Amino acid sequence: MTTRIFIDGGHGTTGIEIGDRLAGRSELSLITLDEKDRKDAGARRDALNAADIVILCLPDDAAREAVSLIDNDRTRIIDASTAHRVADGWTYGFPELEPGHRERLANSRYVANPGCWPTGFLALVRPLVLAGLLPADWPVTVSGASGYSGGGKAMIADYEDAATAPSAFRPYGLTLAHKHVPEMTRYSGLAHPPLFAPAVANAYRGMIVEVPLQLRAMPGRPQIADLHAALAAAYAGSPIVTVAPLQDSARLSGLPIEVVGATDRLDLFLFGNDDSGQARLIAALDNLGKGAAGAAVQNLNILAGLPETAGLRL
């Protein structure tokens, strides 16, 4: 018996990436809609209710609508949108968040896939808060650059149309009220929202998420090696999240946005100087990989009781 999957929004940027990862997997069967029906509420209702697991790759309002169209008590949902990431009754779809979280996910019916920025941020910060190295009330900043596919079809069209003259590098989120801040705050365990300073780069995919820390001002003045040990322990044995050895990071003269390529990996790097008491923590990922489709397929595998990395690009 196969697990029946329906991707609502399967023609969008994230939906296509997920479909590619599921192709050829004999333990799954994909429910699809014709082009003319893919936005028809009746056809979507039938597909949503016929599936064992649905993956929503829709704008937030359409994702909320999709959930309301499910009228059985069996279909499980993985929502890639922002709609339910801090909503009651939903489990945050970051299996690596903390010990025991993967098991919570496996038993959940409603799963909210994380945002791409929070994925990098939480991977760096959550283990440090849990280890007591980063005080929960510390004022944390997170910055970086994302590929333009992070903005979906609309931003891709803008960047790929010469007439709209795309910028090489464009800071945004300038109201300091980006939609990812609530999930970053909630799941990091920080007492205050981080200051989030994102930018878009003129690259299709990939992202660099950076958390700088003034260690010398922090209680106990943590050492670079302490931070590294906490991160390495948190992801020991993970086939998806890796922490570069300090001596390898020290040899790098730069970290390109393309470093993980079109994969579902999440690579963490720690750069620092114990004399100055300063550190730069960097997560490198593909916004469409571990930042979206890779995470959705990983969660699907966990929900379906299948090998966690099946279909992933590692």
Ligand X SMILES: CC(=O)N[C@@H](CCC(=O)OP(=O)(O)O)C(=O)O
Ligand Y SMILES: NC(=O)C1=CN([C@@H]2O[C@H](COP(=O)(O)OP(=O)(O)OC[C@H]3O[C@@H](n4cnc5c(N)ncnc54)[C@H](OP(=O)(O)O)[C@@H]3O)[C@@H](O)[C@H]2O)C=CC1
Sites of contact with ligand Y (CB under 6 A): 8-9, 11-15, 38-39, 57-60, 62, 80-82, 115-116, 149-150, 152-153, 287-288, 291-292
Q: Which is nearer to ligand X, 39 or 170 (CB)?
A: 170
Contact between 150 and ligand X per CB under 6 A = yes
Which residues belong to the active site? 116
Q: Which is nearer to ligand X, 3 or 82 (CB)?
A: 82
Contact between 151 and ligand X per CB under 6 A = yes
Work out which of 19, 93, 95, 115 binds ligand X, going by CB under 6 A: 115
Q: Which is nearer to ligand X, 14 or 301 (CB)?
A: 14
Q: Which of 82, 199, 187, 206 is nearest to 142 (CA)?
A: 199
Work out which of 3, 75, 81, 108 binds ligand X, going by CB under 6 A: 81
Rounded to whole angstroms, the Cα distance separating 148 from 166 reads 10
Taking residues 238 to 277 in sequence order and writing x for each that binds ligand X by CB under 6 A, - otherwise, the string is: ----------------------------------------
Q: Which of 295, 70, 99, 102 is nearest to 91 (CA)?
A: 102
Torsion of CA 54, 33, 61, 111, to 10 degrees: 10
Give residues 282-301 in contact with ligand X (rule: CB under 6 A).
291
Contact between 108 and ligand X per CB under 6 A = no
- Ranked by CB distance to ligand Y, the top (closest) residue is 12
Q: Which of 121, 169, 63 is nearest to 287 (CA)?
A: 121
- Ranked by CB distance to ligand X, the top (closest) residue is 150
Rounded to whole angstroms, the Cα distance separating 95 from 260 reads 20
CB of 95 to ligand X, least distance (A): 17
* Reduced 3-state DSSP string for 97-139: CCCCHHHHHHCCCEEECCCHHHHHHHHHHHHHHHCCCCCCCCC
Determine contact, residues 119/94, Cβ cutoff 8 Å.
yes
Which residues lie below 8 Å from residue 126, measured CB to CB, with a gap of 6+? 97, 98, 187, 188, 189, 234
Q: Which is nearer to ligand Y, 127 or 147 (CB)?
A: 147
Q: Return residues touching ligand X (CB under 6 A).
A: 81-82, 115-117, 146, 150-151, 155, 180, 198, 200, 291
